[in-house]
Each structure stands twice: as structure tokens, then as C-alpha cells.
Amino acid sequence: MTTQTDSTLYIDQLPADTEFEVTHVRGGRRAKQRLAELGLPIGSRARIVERYPLIVSVGETRLALGRGLASKVVVRLLVDDSHSATSEAPVENG
């Protein structure tokens, strides 16, 4: 899944209103699990609502991420091919 290793993109580097997919979480099991149970597991898709402070929208949930954690979440930018179709309904994986 993490094929492009040349330029790793972190969640806190994305501009507001972009959609992304979580590809990797650096760091411990706790961080990964906490993200997963709150709706942001590896492979999930979400949207940046605000950058400062970092708020992410996953499905019907809004999550706030602290600075420390945000710098550990590796993401892939989703080029909005189906943006208009998915922007209203929550994005789902699979």
C-alpha cells in the first residue's frame, strides 16, 4: 500500500477541503488502534475540514487530531475523480 516512498505525505500537510486515504500510521499500536476505532483505520478515506486546528471528517464523524499524532499519519491524496458524487454522502472504503 505504501508504494511511493519517495515523498511521504502527512495528514498535517494537506490543505483544507481535500480528500485523502490513510495509508500508514507511524508509531505505536495505541495510536493506530485509537485512530481505527474512531473511524480512521488504515485504508479509510476522509476529508480535511480545517487545518488549524486539524479537524477531519470521516463519514458522519468529525475528529480532532493533536499535533503530535498528526505528524505520524501518512496519507495519499485522492484526486477527486468522483468528488461531486461522494461529497454529500460519507465516503466509504471497499
Which parts of this chain interact with other proteins (CB under 8 A)? 1, 27-44, 49-50, 52-53, 55, 57-69, 88-90, 92-94
Comparison of 6 and 88: residue with beta carbon closer to other proteins: 88
Using CB atoms within 10 A of its CB, is residue 40 exposed (0-12), middle (13-18) or buried (19+)? Answer: buried
Q: Which is nearer to other proteins, 8 or 61 (CB)?
A: 61
Inter-residue contact 2 to 24 (CB < 8 Å): yes
85, β-bridge pairs: none
Q: Measured from the CB atom, is 15 or 68 closer to other proteins?
A: 68
Least Å from the CB of residue 54 to other proteins: 9
* Residue 6: CB minimum distance to other proteins, A: 19
DSSP character for 91?
A: P
Q: Which is nearer to other proteins, 60 or 81 (CB)?
A: 60
Strand partners, 55: 50, 64
Count CA atoms closer than 13 A to 21's CA, side-chain side.
Answer: 14
Rounded to a whole number of angstroms, the minimum distance from the CB of residue 79 to other proteins is: 22
